[in-house]
Amino acid sequence: MTDETGETDPQTAIDSVAGNRDDRVYEYSAGDEQEGIPFVGAGPGNPRLLTVAGRELLADADLVVHAGSLVNSELLEEYCDDAETVSSIGKDLEELIPLMRDAYEAGDTVVRLHSGDPAIYGAALEQMDALEHEGVPTYIVPGVTSAFAASATMRTQLTLNEVANHVAFTRPQGKTLDEDEDHISEFVGMGDVTTCIYLGTHAVSETMDRLLEDGHDPETPVAAIYHASWPDEDVIEGTIETIGEKLEDAGYRASAMVVIGDAVGGEDYERSFLYGDWANRGSDADSQEADD
């Protein structure tokens, strides 16, 4: 996969992806051992939140290309002692693809380590398509995304009966998202949605100002969880009206998960049907059928 100058051209691979479903979709499930370079989700930060599959792959790796400071160094120290580790920060696809391809073709066991889960704002697919175009097989190993770590830290659920029936994973407008692609206000306006904002710590004040301008309740609960599950984790609680100033006072400009909605406080929810009368009626019905 090279251009007329002989340089690696990942865009060619991205542009040439066919619409046909890969046969491996029907041959393997998530967690299965496969051939190729795994794209592993490192989880939110705490090394104990790495999956078993991820830990096993890192233990056998010769080369781990990781997401720099987005991956907790403790995880690298604990699970990558015997591997060469290379940060992907500051490297473009034209450098990353040959690095992983050449190591794999030389017989090394290569792992690409993303923060959180590769499926959420991970930019994994463009790397995988580029490697596949070079004849290097790839696959994904899921990880725990930061929204789930934030929920666990807050000791609540992202969905709660009669409080939040939906969850939105989103990011605010900025360099990579136009104003008309920012749907945060729409999600918050639905009322029963827990809105989880990734990659937006730097823009929290502006985002909250827009929500206020759109007429949303200023008392709507908001939490910002900095470095969820890391040793320096910090939880900042507030409302649409107050969270921006609180976060600015704390000095965080990145690496915080912002969660908006009534589920943040874990209050005023209703007992679920799962362990209530519905479950008992199911048992009674089964018993009745048995009696009949």
- For residue 73, the SS3 value is helix
The verdict on 47 and 74 lying in the same domain is yes
Query: Number of structural domains, the chain?
Result: 2
Site of tokens 């929204």: 147
The verdict on 177 and 140 lying in the same domain is no
Amino acid, single-letter form, for residue 19: G
CATH number at residue 75: 3.40.1010.10
Which among 121, 144, 167 is the end of a domain? Answer: 144
CATH number at residue 238: 3.30.950.10
Over residues 17-71, the pLDDT tens digits come to: 666 778 898 899 999 999 999 999 999 999 999 999 999 999 999 999 999 999 9
Q: Residue 3: inside a domain, yes or no? A: no
**CB-CB neighbours of 29 under 10 Å:** 8
Q: Residue 270: inside a domain, yes or no? A: no
Which among 109, 125, 144 is the end of a domain? Answer: 144
Q: Residue 5: inside a domain, yes or no? A: no
pTM of the model: 0.87
Average pLDDT over residues 217-229: 97
Is pLDDT at 276 greater than 90 in this prediction? Answer: no
Over residues 128-156, the pLDDT tens digits come to: 999 999 999 999 999 999 999 999 999 99
**CB-CB neighbours of 194 under 10 Å:** 26
The verdict on 122 and 187 lying in the same domain is no
Q: Residue 33: inside a domain, yes or no? A: yes
Alpha carbon distances (Å) from 141 to 88, 126, 219: 18, 16, 39
Buried residues in 155-193 as b, exposed as e (16+ CB within 10 A): ebbbbbeebbeebbbbbbbeeeeeeeebebeebbeeeeb
Is pLDDT at 280 greater than 70 in this prediction? Answer: no
The verdict on 158 and 253 lying in the same domain is yes
Q: Residue 44: inside a domain, yes or no? A: yes
Q: Residue 9: inside a domain, yes or no? A: no
Q: Average pLDDT over the chain, rounded to whole?
A: 90
The verdict on 94 and 181 lying in the same domain is no
Name which of 87, 39, 32, 79 is nearest 60 in CA terms.
Answer: 79
The verdict on 127 and 153 lying in the same domain is no
Query: In the prediction, which pLDDT does 174 show?
Result: 72
The verdict on 136 and 41 lying in the same domain is yes
Structure-derived torsion over alpha carbons of residues 235, 237, 241, 243, reported in degrees to the nearest 10: -10
Alpha carbon distances (Å) from 66 to 60, 86, 101, 148, 167: 15, 6, 15, 21, 28
Over residues 74-90, the pLDDT tens digits come to: 999 999 989 999 999 99
Q: Residue 18: inside a domain, yes or no? A: no
The verdict on 162 and 135 lying in the same domain is no
The verdict on 151 and 239 lying in the same domain is yes
Name which of 36, 62, 63, 64 is nearest 50 in CA terms.
Answer: 64
Q: Residue 19: inside a domain, yes or no? A: no
| Segments of 142-233 assigned E as strands | 166-170, 193-197, 221-226
Side-chain half-sphere exposure of 129, counting CA atoms within 13 A: 15
Q: Name every residue whose Cβ is closer than 8 Å to that of residue 50 and which is 6 or more positions away in sequence.
A: 42, 43, 58, 75, 79, 143
The verdict on 156 and 139 lying in the same domain is no
72: containing domain: 29-144
Which among 97, 126, 144 is the end of a domain? Answer: 144
